[in-house]
Structure 1
Amino acid sequence: MINKLSNFLNKQRLNQLEHYRHPGFFKVTLTNENGKKVPYTLAVTRQHQQLLLPRQKADGLTGPLYFRSYSSYFKRYNSLTELPLGARQFVKAYLQTFAEQINPKLTPASLTLGVVTDTHDKADANYTYYGSNGQQHIEELNLLDQTGILDFKGHLGDAIDGSDPGNISQAHLGKIVATLNQDKTPFFMAKGNHDENDKYDEKFFHNYPSFQANTYGNLVYKKLLAQPQIKQLSYETGLSYFDKGQIRVIVLNTSDVPYLITANGLKKYDVKLTLAIRQQQIAELITVLQQSAGKQIVVLGHANLLKADGSEGLQFNGHAVHELLVAFNRHLKGRLCPKSTNPDFSVDLPFDFSQQQSGQVWSYICGHLHTENNYCVDGIQYVLLNCSALMGPKHQLTTKYNRAWNRQQGTITEFAGYVIDINAQSRQLQVFGYGAASPERVFQF
């Protein structure tokens, strides 16, 4: 939920609460920013203090807690104040144990990432599917960060579900970025195909845009790229990278889609349905790779470049980018010019990796498909991560993988996340999962 009191409690409701001055507990119903009724308990003390308690707060859903004191001198209530909430204790204990168990397998020289993907956060309380628990899963990634085992933490896209009105989705996306940015550990973020809010546009406005061209960039890239540890060649493409010793991590934007408005005011491309990487980003990738001598590289993105059978994973240029990574590993020189009938996604770029004899791309890691999988194509190890978003077993869109987990709100299957350890000395990639995820996958290079 958006924790802005002006959006959550209207003036009429506040005036009604003024009359509750006798000690006791009272049932009240408040309306959230989506117009949905949320049951609250109003507690009034002998000093006329008021505390608003969401009756479902124990599950980590619904609205925030509010408190206000009473001025006996002026005979009126002071302003309501939102009360910060502590972490869910069962999650805190679980993640502490998880960190202790994997810590002996980590080394100081390795680069260790904390990762969630596909949280599909939205302004709705849902016990069995997507909802406000998405934001909570990101807050709990910070609990893992507080154990001290991470070098970086981040999100691989579909941070929001993109099904709320534009102002609400923007507020949720901004809160997610602020949550990732609130600790000393630097964060990274890949753009997902839901992060432009096209799901809402498609359903309610027939593709009239609720996000503008720079909405996502202003909310995400400004804070992401302000971190000195995160490097980029431009603000526009979404490509970023960071290093630790011999290890380099490159983050790609697989929702690299032009923001074009047709004559009738509609978006030319639905980002939700168009996975792509365009020429400028590929040119930046070539530049970064040409400057990666001696680096052992892991590439992150939202969607998989290729499927397990080697066929195209994106609508545009997934296979071309895969071929570029393979060319880097084989120290090749040439020209990337994939066939395309769409000029918005055409690519024609030279590359020269003949001098990069000691660098190697190990793996491509992504989310998007709401499942786990791993497969190797042309020496590139693909690792797919499960969605953090709750997918209850009885929903039509729940994947077979998540249905097998029988995921339940309020249990460790509610969420899914990962610690990824990249060790240049042992040439090993370790993927440790928590929640609805495989406990350990290890890859040798």
Structure 2
Amino acid sequence: MSIDVSNTPDMYTITISGTFTFNTNCRVRNTPDMSDGGVATYTSGMTVTYDSKLKNGDHLWLSYIADSGTRRYIPYANTDTGVYFGTDSNPVDPVQAAASSTPTQSSSNDSGLGTLSGQAGADVADQTPDGTTLTMSGSFTFNTTARGRDNDLMSANKGDTFNSGDTVYYDAKIKNDGHYWFEYSHYGSGTYYVPYTTISPFHVYGTDDNPGDPVYPQDQSSTTTTPSTSTTSRDHTGQDTGLQELTSDDNRVPVGEGYIYPCRGSLVLKSNAMGRTQPDMAATEVKKYLAGNKIPYTAREFANGHLWVVVNDSGDELYLPVSTIANYKSSYYHDKKHYTSTYSYVLTDYNATQPFSELWPNTATTNFFDVNDTSSSEVGTNITNISATTELTPSSDELNAMQQLADEVNASADDQSVSIAYITDTHFDSYKTPGTARVLHSMQLMSYFAKNFGVDLVIHGGDLNDGVKPKDISEADIKRAVDAIKFSQRPYIILQGNHDDNSGYSRDESGLDASQIITNEEALSLRRNWFSNWLNIPDNNPNNAVYGSYQVPNSNVTIIVLDGFDQADASNPTREMVRHGHTEYSTAQQNWLQSILDTIDDSQKIIVFDHISLSGVPLNQWACQEDGWFEYSTAQSYQAGIQSSQNIYNILEDHQSNHENILGFFAGHTHLDNNAFSGGIQFITTACALADRGIGASSRTNGTLSENAWEIIQINPTRNEIIQYRLPGGHTDTEYFKQTWQI
């Protein structure tokens, strides 16, 4: 819900001191203007001490004097979306109430406070300032579940639970945070608050023996009125959030000759070889390495006509030649525990050598590409023409297709519809294949639609990057992909997939080297912190996982995001311990899901997003049945994770049987369009966004509309209906794609 600043002029300032702890990155500026480029950044978790607040533009600002003596400004809330960027020790906003309004604290029904109830009061509630209190006592009997809190905020700490049929005895009523609240005594030991009405969309949770809500009647003498926040009509094109700071770089690391490829492993030579001080056959020879002995190494490099491995010998870093480039040809196999390779001077290499052909394609066939490779017959594979830091300019075909998509969405929308732009499994990685050179374009095209045609929310379903490159390259690509989503200028959420932590590279190509995994803490600054001001993430989240809820503004649609790879970092991982191999939900996440479902009113429609589907869905329920998915694995080491997936399914199934308000569960991971109806819930998996990967890859051509597999999910809560709209001309597996359903 937006913050009402209709009576507050720009630069309205109040003198007030306190501290503010940020839950997202915010720029420090010389002026209270979002167009000011800024001088520094407060990152999530940092705290600033301020001496004043002001309103300017569509933001509320903190202000303080820097050590240099210069006054600085930091935005702390978006007035259009009502989103606060952290926690305030002194939560008073620089907002002027309407001149005709009565002071926000009242002990009677003077000026009409409390004379309205029900829908009549909700229709004019936006004219009553938050915090308005009506002192009156009574009892209220609930007809649904509600939670008592230690403050009159939906985000406050929860305590008491009132089930259907329970009664609360209250001392006052308060209007705040989009709800009416009762103030009551918490077992005689303190004051607690419980919501009894959602203002918009209007819904009362039971029966009051002393009706009358904490709102003032509309001021009939006023020549203008503030628009009602009632959802009798809403615009499903969303609100512009502005463009977040871009952090990527269009210049890519050269990965050809001379690039040090971190790759821990060991090998056995066919013949003796000399370790040298530099990767050069003319460099000083230091030590002879004998054929038949296992030799550990920490990195590889192509240089001076040879493939070299880096050997640490008694603290010295030596370079050992193991193949000529001209004769380098690897054959390898995987025995379910590790890769074993054979090539040139090497009898056995206990690691894969495939990444070299991916990173330096001049040594391989034309199945692999980089920025300098022009041998491909594919259209538009040159990644240099796709800037991550410049907004996309669509082709005429793309513009026509997006207009057709918007027309289709608008034709079926009603005055309560919600629109979500959705893409999953982009697996973006520089140069690996033509598709990975182009999928950035698909993300940018979806963002162009979101910004220019409008949606309520943008969701990336996980596996943003492929995670099979050295960590520095993967991190650079994550920044480029996140920047592509930022161009949507809409609220967005990026789920965590099994590829996103780079554990595939660590597992298969660097000998389970933990230093090549993106840790849970490192992932915060790369992904989650950028959208944490939209996704309501619980505090009890030991692995910094990506799960939480999002209430679509001015609607009765709640988005629940789950993280099927919610697990701790491991300093010495086994193959079974990394995300690339299995699914897992922490106990904290399971408990959170149960608690958040308990707080959601039956009138709210729930949509669940997860990267991976759930083991509770029987395999034979899917329209397309495939073996080998993580959630159906028979491997003993995966069973704990599979059980946690079953627990999540059971929680959702139980909720659906009692409330019937979950309209859909969306996942990716399998790279194919698929659907299953199980436990009263419609489950969906979505095609891979990477054109040369997954089911249907053979029918998709880069540089054409068919490379796209993103869509608009339209939620029609009044009809309990969901419709999926793919970009016209884009990829759809029509055999298993389920376009529409009702619950």
TM-score, normalisation: structure 2: 0.44
The equivalent of 1:413 in structure 2 is: 706
Using a 3 Å threshold, how does the CA distance of structure 1 residues 361 and 34 change in structure 2: closer, same or farther? same
Secondary structure of the residue aligned to 1:174 is helix
Contact 2:424 2:461 in 1 (8 A): yes
Whole-Å Cα distance in 1 between the matches of residues 704 and 741 of structure 2? Answer: 29
The equivalent of 2:71 in structure 1 is: none
Whole-Å Cα distance in 2 between the matches of residues 36 and 89 of structure 1? Answer: 33
The equivalent of 2:561 in structure 1 is: 251
Secondary structure of the residue aligned to 1:175 is helix
Contact 2:537 2:549 in 1 (8 A): yes
The Cα of 1:411 is off from its aligned counterpart by 2.1
The equivalent of 1:44 in structure 2 is: none
Residue 242 in 1 paired to residue 550 in 2? yes
Query: Per-residue displacement from partner, 1:314-337 (whole Å, max 9, x unpaired)?
Result: 634222111101111234xxxxxx
State how 1:104-115 maps to structure 2 within 5 Å. 104-115=411-422
- Larger relative contact order (C-alpha < 8 A, sep ≥ 6)? 1
The equivalent of 1:62 in structure 2 is: 382
Query: Per-residue displacement from partner, 1:355-406 (whole Å, max 9, x unpaired)?
Result: xxx56222211111111111111101111111111136xxxxx43xx15x61
Using a 3 Å threshold, how does the CA distance of structure 1 residues 159 and 216 change in structure 2: closer, same or farther? same
The equivalent of 2:302 in structure 1 is: none
The equivalent of 2:650 in structure 1 is: 323
Using a 3 Å threshold, how does the CA distance of structure 1 residues 84 and 187 change in structure 2: closer, same or farther? closer
The equivalent of 1:211 in structure 2 is: 517
Whole-Å Cα distance in 1 between the matches of residues 252 and 579 of structure 2? Answer: 32
Secondary structure of the residue aligned to 1:233 is coil
Contact 1:255 1:271 in 2 (8 A): yes
The equivalent of 1:202 in structure 2 is: 507
Residue from 573, 577, 586 that aligns with 1:269 = 577
Whole-Å Cα distance in 2 between the matches of residues 182 and 174 of structure 1? Answer: 13
The Cα of 1:166 is off from its aligned counterpart by 0.5
Which AA in structure 1 matches 2:674? N
State how 1:165-176 maps to structure 2 within 5 Å. 165-176=470-481
The equivalent of 1:338 in structure 2 is: none
Which AA in structure 2 matches 1:299? V
Whole-Å Cα distance in 2 between the matches of residues 310 and 328 of structure 1? Answer: 20
The equivalent of 1:126 in structure 2 is: 433
Which AA in structure 1 matches 2:560? I
Whole-Å Cα distance in 2 between the matches of residues 284 and 154 of structure 1? Answer: 21
Whole-Å Cα distance in 1 between the matches of residues 600 and 567 of structure 2? Answer: 27
The equivalent of 2:678 in structure 1 is: 377
More helix, by proportion: 1
Using a 3 Å threshold, how does the CA distance of structure 1 residues 116 and 65 change in structure 2: closer, same or farther? closer
Whole-Å Cα distance in 2 between the matches of residues 325 and 95 of structure 1? Answer: 35
Contact 1:292 1:359 in 2 (8 A): no
Using a 3 Å threshold, how does the CA distance of structure 1 residues 203 and 40 change in structure 2: closer, same or farther? closer
State how 1:33-48 maps to structure 2 within 5 Å. 34-35=359-360
Contact 2:674 2:738 in 1 (8 A): no
Identity between Structure 1 and Structure 2 (%): 17
State how 1:274-353 maps to structure 2 within 5 Å. 274-294=582-602, 295-305=604-614, 306-309=617-620, 312-313=631-632, 315-331=642-658
The equivalent of 1:341 in structure 2 is: none
State how 1:61-210 maps to structure 2 within 5 Å. 61-64=381-384, 86-124=393-431, 126-127=433-434, 130-209=435-514, 210=516
Whole-Å Cα distance in 1 between the matches of residues 674 and 486 of structure 2? Answer: 29
Whole-Å Cα distance in 2 between the matches of residues 124 and 205 of structure 1? Answer: 19
Which AA in structure 1 matches 2:600? S
Of the structure 1 ranges 117-126 and 158-167, higher mean CA displacement relative to structure 2 is found in 117-126
Contact 2:656 2:681 in 1 (8 A): no
Residue 436 in 1 paired to residue 697 in 2? no
In structure 2, runs of 5+ residues without a counterpart are 1-247, 257-357, 363-369, 623-630, 633-640
State how 1:214-225 maps to structure 2 within 5 Å. 214-225=521-532
Larger radius of gyration: 2
More strand, by proportion: 2
Query: Per-residue displacement from partner, 1:208-245 (whole Å, max 9, x unpaired)?
Result: 121242222221111110x2x32121362311211232
Contact 1:155 1:190 in 2 (8 A): yes
TM-score, normalisation: structure 1: 0.72
Query: Per-residue displacement from partner, 1:253-287 (whole Å, max 9, x unpaired)?
Result: 1111221223xx76761211111111111111112
Using a 3 Å threshold, how does the CA distance of structure 1 residues 39 and 170 change in structure 2: closer, same or farther? closer
Aligned residues: 356
Whole-Å Cα distance in 2 between the matches of residues 381 and 104 of structure 1? Answer: 24
Which AA in structure 2 matches 1:365? F
Contact 1:113 1:154 in 2 (8 A): yes
Q: Output the aligned Cα RMSD.
A: 3.2
Contact 1:190 1:253 in 2 (8 A): yes
